[in-house]
Structure 1
Amino acid sequence: MKKSIIVGLHIGFWLCYFVLTIVLVVLSLQGENNAVVEETTERVLYFTVIPSVISYYLFYFFVFPKFRKKKFVLTIIYALSFAIGASLIGHLLIYIFLGTESLTGREESMTVGFTFGSFICLTTGFVALITKGFITWYEELKLKEELKQQNYEMEMALVKSQLDPHFLFNTLNNIDILILKNATEASTYLNKLSDIMRFMLFETKTDKILLSKELEYIEKYIALQKIRTVNSNYINFNIIGSSNGKTIAPMVFLPFIENAFKHTTNKKLDNAITICIVIDKEFVKLKCRNKFNPNRKLSQKNSGLGNTLIQRRLNLLYPEKHTLKVEKENEYYSVKLTIVQ
């Protein structure tokens, strides 16, 4: 939502609040002399208006985040504390600017006044929660629409990138050669390729999938890449931690892994590609490091999924819940992606 609209919502609310307050004061003071009107106006300013402003923005910035995180006990504690505190500030302002005689009337009247002030602060705070909730809902709605469009673009880019004819033809050719040597093993790899294509075409339609499925897909993809070389130590792939019950956006890690294979030309090197996925209670981390030839120029059409598109998708999927660090050091290219669960 545009800042001008948000500011307009705040201004609109306070204009309505002030107009309503003025109308109530005028109606209650009809026939009174100027001194009474002036004193009452000051009382209303210190007793309701200023505490309401304080309460409104305390609820807006501090209570709403607790409510959104479903911390309902803390929400109630914060709400009551802020409302009572704002009401106390109103009494203090009356004491400072109107003198002790304004507070030394009947004790019962003071109690009623304090209770009423707290209620007014709670009411304005509740309005603040509604306002903030509406703004957040609207922004999330826009984000979902953008994410939906972005997912479509990502899906098309991934289909073009992952179902690359070169990858398919090379894999099928390797499997065809393997059939003459070991038909059983060739059948296993053919099933892996079939699973990969099925995964990409059908299981990536949802916003979240089980992390275990994502890892299974990555393992099959790596297995297919391994049949293109006789060096069994070419790739070092490890998973640390348990994926039980965890979910993740589909194909978040794969673009980095795919780029590692595309940019690594010397398959005779041990540990030319090192991939490690660390699974913790609070985060999932990908560490991908590959050796590359800095003098080799890769054509744009075969360069894999662009970093700009990858970063934009991450920003939409995990706003403020991910860190991405990409480094080139000597002849190594490394990616570290951490996603907070």
Structure 2
Amino acid sequence: MYKNKTITVISHVLVWLTLFCLPYLLSSGEEQEMNRVIAHFWIPLFFSAIIFYFNFFVLVDRYLFPKKTVQFILLNIIIIAFFLFLKEYIEDNYFQYILKKRRANTERTEPPFKIAMYIQLLSYLAPLFFSVALKSTKRWVKTETERKEAANFKLKSELQHLHYQLQPHFFFNSLNNIYSLVDISPDQAKSSIHSLSKLMRYMLYETNLEVVPLSKEIDFLKKYIDLMKLRVSDKTTVSYSFPIKETGIQIAPLLFISLIENAFKHGVSATKPSTIDINMTCDDATVLFSVENHNFPKKTDDKSGSGIGLQNLEKRLELLYSDKFNFKTILKDDRFLVTLEVETN
């Protein structure tokens, strides 16, 4: 911020120095009259600087932006009129030599007084309009920056809300699965609780970052699948395939867990054979994840789970990856296929 202010001050100084030197630059090699330069260039330029900075620092903020347009225009009319008459007064009283020489030079045709005043008026309107334009641009940039910061804060807040929403949902479903094992196999229930504690540790302490290594996410998914396999019968076959080598890909945490949860919720039957096939491949920075399973529609009176997982996933994908993802679901006969492709770069 300090550096930007310094650059701004230096820029203003250079601009005004250039303007003050402009008469010399435009009439290089010609005879210069200091009094004429002062009267016709430096004094009007000094007044222009006052108009510019008075509007830039005071009038635009106090009157124009609060929509007190009439007061803003009247004040500028008074200021410009004052400087117009002040310039004429200074020339008449302190630069008489120029006036005498002007009258003595009969060959030179001077513009009428009204035209001269009109030209001076335009010269004072220029810094006025420039100050308004510069101040408006500065305000727009500030407003746009604040808007983007607010949108970014809203995005982070919404993502955090979805993240916290997912954790109890995951925990609730996992506890339901373990509860079903307590009477059937107490040893498996104990093992499941131990596995769940590891999964929850990952969710609580390692998923607060915007992105995590894909290898950690894969390890989490494998542990969850192994935990879920404990509660299914021999009639269900679960297979999965993940990249073995380190990919170096960083990805938002907990993107795929809802798809696997959904497969175990709707793809398993206690009486019929069923399969769940989970597959993940990587191509450069693109991750392709698919889950295919049998489809056993949930009964209307079955209130287990909240159905929040897939809704949560779609919202997170829209917020995090916008147009960099492709999410599809296909239901054909008794098979359900879901694919998720994410570009992580």
Report what 1:169 is aligned to: 179
1:146 and 2:158 matched: yes
Paired with 1:335 and 1:25, the residues of 2 have a C-alpha distance of 71
Amino acid at match of 2:339: K
Report what 2:295 is aligned to: 292
Amino acid at match of 1:305: I
1:302 and 2:305 matched: yes
Change (3 A) 1:28 1:230: farther
Name the TM-score, length of structure 2 as normaliser: 0.55
Aligned match of 2:215 in 212, 221, 243?
A: 212
Q: Deviation digits for residues 277-299 of structure 1, max 9, x if unmatched? A: 23333332322222203485572
Paired with 2:262 and 2:284, the residues of 1 have a C-alpha distance of 28
Deviation of the 1:253 alpha carbon: 0.7
Q: What SS does the aligned partner of 1:258 have?
A: helix
Unpaired runs of 5+ in structure 1? 1-10, 54-119, 180-185
Paired with 2:116 and 2:343, the residues of 1 have a C-alpha distance of 60
Amino acid at match of 1:143: L
**Identical residues among aligned pairs (%):** 24
1:274 and 2:285 matched: no
Q: CA RMSD in A?
A: 4.5
Q: What SS does the aligned partner of 2:304 have?
A: helix
Amino acid at match of 1:30: L
Change (3 A) 1:41 1:201: same
Paired with 1:178 and 1:150, the residues of 2 have a C-alpha distance of 31
Amino acid at match of 1:276: N
Change (3 A) 1:191 1:134: same
Q: What SS does the aligned partner of 1:159 have?
A: helix
Report what 1:5 is aligned to: none
Paired with 1:236 and 1:134, the residues of 2 have a C-alpha distance of 49
Change (3 A) 1:294 1:204: same
Paired with 2:117 and 2:170, the residues of 1 have a C-alpha distance of 71
Change (3 A) 1:126 1:139: same
CA contact (8 A) 1:240 1:279 kept: yes
CA contact (8 A) 1:262 1:303 kept: no
Report what 1:247 is aligned to: 250
Report what 2:105 is aligned to: none
Equivalence map 1:1-341=2 (5 Å): 15=64, 26=80, 30-31=84-85, 35=115, 128-161=140-173, 163-165=174-176, 167-170=177-180, 192-227=195-230, 228-230=232-234, 234-240=237-243, 243-266=246-269, 269=273, 272-294=275-297, 297=300, 299-302=302-305, 304-341=307-344
Deviation of the 1:39 alpha carbon: 5.4
Q: What SS does the aligned partner of 1:265 have?
A: coil
Paired with 2:63 and 2:246, the residues of 1 have a C-alpha distance of 50
Q: What SS does the aligned partner of 1:324 have?
A: strand
Deviation of the 1:41 alpha carbon: 6.7
Paired with 1:134 and 1:252, the residues of 2 have a C-alpha distance of 30
Q: Deviation digits for residues 120-142 of structure 1, max 9, x if unmatched? A: 6xx97666544322221122123
Unpaired runs of 5+ in structure 2? 1-59, 89-112
Paired with 1:279 and 1:23, the residues of 2 have a C-alpha distance of 69
Amino acid at match of 1:308: Q
Aligned residues: 251
Deviation of the 1:145 alpha carbon: 2.8
Paired with 2:158 and 2:188, the residues of 1 have a C-alpha distance of 45
Farther off after superposition, 195-204 or 139-148: 195-204
Name the TM-score, length of structure 1 as normaliser: 0.55
Structure (1 or 2) with the larger CA radius of gyration: 2
Paired with 1:273 and 1:202, the residues of 2 have a C-alpha distance of 29
Paired with 1:41 and 1:321, the residues of 2 have a C-alpha distance of 56
Deviation of the 1:326 alpha carbon: 2.7
